Structure 1
């Protein structure tokens, strides 16, 4: 299997018609004749950008001839050495292993300081050996480097796919051959390529090991990833972190157990509550009027507070065992709020059997000191005596995994170790017996990419780009001035003008007002800068509507027509993430497209012109001006005071009438009825009720509808009728046509 990792030569004379240029070109030709590509440059250019070539190169060859050292004065030599040193430092920030050679005609190691020499793999003197001999020496080191790049499972999968073995096992496409027998199959084969299809294999391939019982190369890769992520155990999961959460819960929780759960947790946790028959006791997060979920106050984690919640819950207080079986916290929240995990561990001690942190959005944190104490499992972390700590992470969200790539990390207690054999019974319960091997390989590679120092460099780049984006948005705002409008980025203002600045800038301190969550105790929470929530005009943190406004749904649809897809859209905010794949080009494009939106809005250009695809789909908006449409939707939001409704409904007093498992059983046994939203008050839902945005369940099966929640559902009904194309989606809300009219219903438990 051939890969493109060229040898990179940096020499001012690479294209010069002199003896030095001739010598380096002879060397390049000899390397090419040995079957390796060569790329030549005449200067370092932008060091940071150039050093990123380390991800694409097999080695670097740096010239230290007289041309690079100028006239040979001390100043010339110092400048030349600085260029070499700066380049090597930038490369080593990302890669400790890629070979680096120096070469020249006259200079020797006497000319080179030790801090440079110790980073080298060789020192080549031109014309002392033949170009062919020198080329073979360089290629030997380059190939040794490339041979050790792939982590265990990915290496085994590549070997298998390139072995040209005839396949008699599933999948039925037999390495892609079946696709070649059909025109549309040919198209599929050409689109995805042979390597992916040859690597799509069955778990019967012994040399690849088994994901389900963690043997062979799979086991080696999980152990390698556990080392990289500083955990005691690590398990790859190919069904996403929704499944990872269920694996953790089913390995720990049984019917009748009390569980302590973040009220605004992911729906997979609520599914786990239903499946295990647990009795949930909820910790209530804060919220602001932008709809951004804030942190659970520190006081909620006090064992005495949790005990009182248990006694106040009609089902929990009857439980035989009052010690909570598991605590699950969303870390980080969708909008980037983090908890000081070590504070939570210290507060709860051994009062809870298992601590589980849903870190779907935080797999990057362990690789940079910026996030110290703000993630669940890391090097040198203190251990509880008896409490196990789990973290479930989506490597496909913030790292480089394929979709559905996830992993479960475990930290043992001092006196209690994970029983991996028992744990694996839960793992088998939720894992497919036909896992996708490309997803396993991406878990393997995503971990290997974060091997120090590369992981730290990748995370630092994400932080830097995210903070630079904020600085750019502030600069644009300042240029428009106070009498004009522009978008804001929610969060504290960066205090430094370069780099990632001081971590403390992002810590929430008592008395801070930028977040809108009320008074938060200093040091317990932090905003992750790589999560950026952009605020549109029209609503303030107090929930007060301005005379005019720009609903975020219009901005996100506008951006989508201009090639920019948003992660999540709220009422007057939308959310973007600076993953390790985000570049300067992407975020600068975001700034320019927002500028274009502002220009089109200020001119009130018609929708057919600024959003032609949307206007073609919904012709009723075709001649409406962009500003006029914004004003129309804004006025309805204002009429319903929807910012306060959406805040109040999540913070309202919700009464549990049944355990979630019992309510689900009613649904499974069809002991439910479909009731109009006008008749819902006091009824018990049999379904999860989940408004989008924010996609956080509002009601759990077994809970009663209150008037605040019903007011929101009525708003959704009215709004959807008035503004097709901008519908408010509520999972659990059933839309049916009755007597020619669209009506809204929810499935509730029969009285």
Structure 2
């Protein structure tokens, strides 16, 4: 007997975070209802309820199903007619095939008959479970969105002509989807991740007949800079191409028009690949569509590496493992060859052996692969890194910063930046992020703090020495800057300022429309266009007049406008391996610098040569090439699903009655103070009000929370974050995470996260919560008191986070500004006679409270939380010492318990101060 569907009201569209989730669940529910009708019949009240449920499901699918090629509008209408005619047996069979084909992806590989046919076709293998070699042999499938208001006869004519020009030698296969309007085109590319190309025809109209609130909100923001309602019909096609490029710049668009070439030539057509005039040539159109997709599918280095591996080669260079010879001839390491397979060894070679390309001096496939990556990520130049983003950060810093340059640095950024400052000889001005004392983590640096530091430099006559602003976006915990606002306001103070954005955790952001507006490369490209406009020049001139003679307080409170002659100089480093498909240590450096060619290129090349191995791992380079291909073709889909997974976790924890007792998902309200949330939105999801408008939050707020990061407060369990991570999640359930604070753990979804893995996580959390319920039910009074004390210690008795104190005068060039020579302090500590060790005891605290000045000789990094609380040359405050003593963490990098805290001796400091004075 089939399991009976529950007689409950279907969740509404507003209950779902995305239409892809709704669509999948609706088809699955429709299949279950049809199977129940087939098994139990449709007579009586029970049958009436089943019929009503099926009709309701069809109604909910109708407005969104037109945007997909499978099963398609015609097939969908046929299925509905089966229900109207009460042809339940055939309906059940057809719905089972549709649901399974959608779940398995079988429609990508073969035609799925909805009626009749072999019943063996009802069992479809999940595409993801097929062997890689089987999937690699198939032709990749995609869909083409055709935008035109067509009759059924015209649609059939176009479909038949596009099918007629297909050839067996085509590299890809596609199916068309027809929509009538510009708005439907935007809805289609947002909903349907299979779309890789859009054909815009002259018969399209402006408005969609679908009244979907979510898309209406998004369309409103898209048209903020364009009077869409005021467009003339002959402008619909070019505007559609422009807006498609704005929403999904990776897609190819093709415009078919009857306007003259002169009219079209001067228009902004976005990423339009080609314009066809009047009557289209279907074969030419077909070939252009395939060529456009192949342009993104191309992987020059990976392809070259595969071809190299097939060549018979005699190895007479310094790599015994090349071609696998040292393994195949061995009697003792055959298990390694069995584990990895032969291809990885066949593809091992050296840049000096010929046949491929050099990462240090690329002229062939590596150069081409980097150019394709630059196009994909919106950069002017892109460079591959094979030593991780730690090395990429040092390359950029060393290329741009000269000894004595002042760099404004986010104090709790990754330690590689601090070491990079040492190597470059920068004078570092650390800026404090706002603290989140309750959760033992830092937020991000407010724009007021950045402007305050810049204005202080200006007042001291040092603005010409300020070279760079270095910030982390997104932070490990998912806090994202308003990148445009930061760069605009800083450029208003110093128009040639360089920006380095550490986007180690943000490589995926380019491929989500909401995220893209806060990426370094996206904003850099927008600024290049904005600064050239008359509106920018007028706004700057007007503000200059209004602010003439204004004091610093006024300037800090005012949203500053950059001058039209400001230079756009932006760099971003990304850990491709952290959020996209790449082998470990695969990284990219993206450059969007107007002065790169004239000022930086040679220095960058030298820094790149300094830090990049002469024997880079070719497999890492190949994975970067393939990872770029993936995100250009399916990054939009994967990022969308990644966000959906994180939102599902949020909703489950916030609504489950048992989970709410011990866990709490931290919301934007918890992690971003009110003054930085201009939208006023406090959470992405509310159990009573549903989902918030994420578009509004990301468009307005100074800081936003990346929804793919789910920080779970676990203090209510009585376990600290590190214990919960290792002893509970990992040891008991095999769930891996790597970021904790004193009372929280961070769950990061990624492009590989599945709904099954989300379901398992929720199941585990429920089991843990139920276990705590059972434990406390049987606890004695003393045991309960012990539990409550542990919870109180984790939630209430949390040590306050210390701010950066200051650099000692021995490492400063004056008292008016905060920068310090971190390099000088770092190398001063190389001489052990300049250092001493002090125990973290009450005596040391007394000395600090009494005013004695002690200076750190090394980096001190407690983990967790994982940020440096002391750097070389920094004065140790009693707040910092209190924080260190209160921490109950597994390790403190740079601190030796057997010796104590490493500090400079007074003699070493006095000698340095005297030397500077003389």
TM-score, length of structure 2 as denominator length: 0.59
Matched, 1:353 2:476: no
Match of 1:62 in 2: 111
Query: What is the match of residue 637 of structure 2?
Result: 457
Aligned partner (choices 279, 283, 296) of residue 431 of structure 2? 283
Q: Deviations over 1:151-207 (max 9, x none)?
A: 000111111112232222232323322123445421222112211122222112433
Is the 8 Å Cα contact of residues 388 and 413 (structure 1) preserved in structure 2? yes
Matches within 5 A, 1:319-334: 322-334=464-476
Mark the CA change 1:171 to 1:634 in structure 2 (over 3 Å): closer, same or farther: farther
* 2:824 corresponds to 1:662: yes
Work out the number of aligned pairs and report it. 593
SS of the counterpart of 2:521? Answer: coil
Cα contact 2:570–2:591 (8 A) shared by 1: yes
Deviations 1:99-144 (A, max 9, x none): 789xxxxxxx969646755875867xxxxxxxxxxxx937876799
Residue 564 (structure 1) aligned with residue 564 (structure 2)? no
Aligned to 1:126: none
Shift of the alpha carbon at 1:63?
Answer: 4.9
Q: Any residues of structure 2 matched to 1:586-735 within 5 Å, and which?
A: 586-604=757-775, 633-634=790-791, 643-645=798-800, 647=801, 649-650=802-803, 657-658=810-811, 659-670=821-832, 671-678=834-841, 679=844, 681=848, 682-716=853-887, 719=888, 727-735=889-897
Partner of 2:684: 494
1:49 to 75, 100, 103: 103
Distance in 2, matches of 1:626 and 1:181, equals 63
Compute the displacement of 1:375 (Å). Answer: 1.1
Do the aligned residues in 2 keep the contact of 1:44 with 1:50 (CA within 8 Å)? no
Task: Please give the alpha-carbon distance, in whole angstroms, between the structure 2 residues aligned to 1:120 and 1:489.
Answer: 51
CA–CA distance in structure 2, aligned partners of residues 459 and 580 of structure 1: 6
Separation in 1, partners of 2:877, 2:786: 32
User: Structure 1 260/239 Cα, relative in aligned 2: closer, same or farther at 3 Å?
Assistant: same
1:204-234 deviations in Å (ceiling 9; x for gaps): 2433211011221000000011111111000
Report the Cα distance in structure 1 between the residues aligned to 2:902 and 2:162, rounded to whole angstroms.
Answer: 66
1:98 corresponds to 2:159 = no
Match of 2:714 among 514, 522, 536: 536
Structure 2 Cα separation of the partners of residues 602 and 210 of structure 1: 60
- RMSD of the alignment, in Å? 3.8
1:210 and 1:481 mapped to 2: Cα distance?
A: 53
Give 1:333 shift.
1.0
Name the CA shift for 1:637/1:190 in 2 (closer, same or farther; >3 Å). Answer: same
> Does structure 2 conserve the Cα–Cα contact (< 8 Å) formed by 1:99 and 1:121?
no
Map of 1:106-505 to 2, 5 A cutoff? 113=156, 120=163, 137=168, 149-288=297-436, 289-302=438-451, 305-308=453-456, 322-349=464-491, 350-378=494-522, 380-383=525-528, 385-413=566-594, 419-452=600-633, 454-476=634-656, 479-480=657-658, 484-491=661-668, 492-495=682-685, 502-504=693-695
| Distance (whole Å) between structure 2 residues aligned to residue 164 and residue 223 of structure 1 | 30
Shift of 1:566: 1.4
Give the gaps of 5 or more residues in structure 1: 1-40, 69-94, 102-108, 124-135, 312-316, 509-521, 539-547, 607-624, 720-726, 737-742
434-443 vs 179-188, which moves further = 179-188
| 8 Å Cα contact 2:408-2:428 kept in structure 1 | yes
Q: Secondary structure at the match of 1:668?
A: coil
Distance, in Å, in 2 between the alignment partners of 1:485 and 1:634 is 10
CA distance in 1, matches of 2:375, 2:622: 17
CA distance in 2, matches of 1:712, 1:419: 41
**Alignment deviations for residues 75-122 of structure 1 (CA, whole Å, 9 cap, x no partner):** xxxxxxxxxxxxxxxxxxxx9963789xxxxxxx96964675587586
Shift of 1:261: 0.9
Q: Cα distance 1:393–1:656, how it changes in 2: closer, same or farther (>3 A)? A: farther
Corresponding residue of 2:132: none
CA drift of 1:455 comes to 1.6
- Aligned-partner SS, 2:394: helix
Tell me, in whole angstroms, the C-alpha distance in 2 between the residues paired with 1:245 and 1:261.
13
Corresponding residue for 1:526?
704
* Distance in 1 separating the partners of 2:617 and 2:857: 34
Of residues 527, 549, 555 in structure 1, which corresponds to 2:724? Answer: 555
Other structure's SS at 1:364 match: helix
Q: Which residue of 1 aligns with 2:901?
A: 745
Displacement of 1:340 in angstroms is: 1.4
CA contact (8 A) 1:686 1:749 kept: no
Q: Measure the CA separation in 2 of the matches of 1:565 and 1:335.
A: 16
Cα distance change on mapping 1:203 and 1:65 into 2, 3 Å: same
Deviations 1:369-414 (A, max 9, x none): 1114311002842227434110111101111111111111011328
Separation (CA, whole Å) in 2 of partners of 1:473 and 1:114: 51
Structure 2 unaligned spans of 5+: 1-94, 118-137, 145-151, 175-289, 532-565, 669-681, 812-820, 908-918
Normalised to the residue count of structure 1, the TM-score between the two structures is: 0.71
Question: 8 Å contact 2:97–2:114 — kept in the other structure?
Answer: no
Change (3 A) 1:704 1:212: same
Q: Following the alignment from structure 2 to structure 1, what is the Cα–Cα distance between the partners of residues 164 and 776?
A: 62
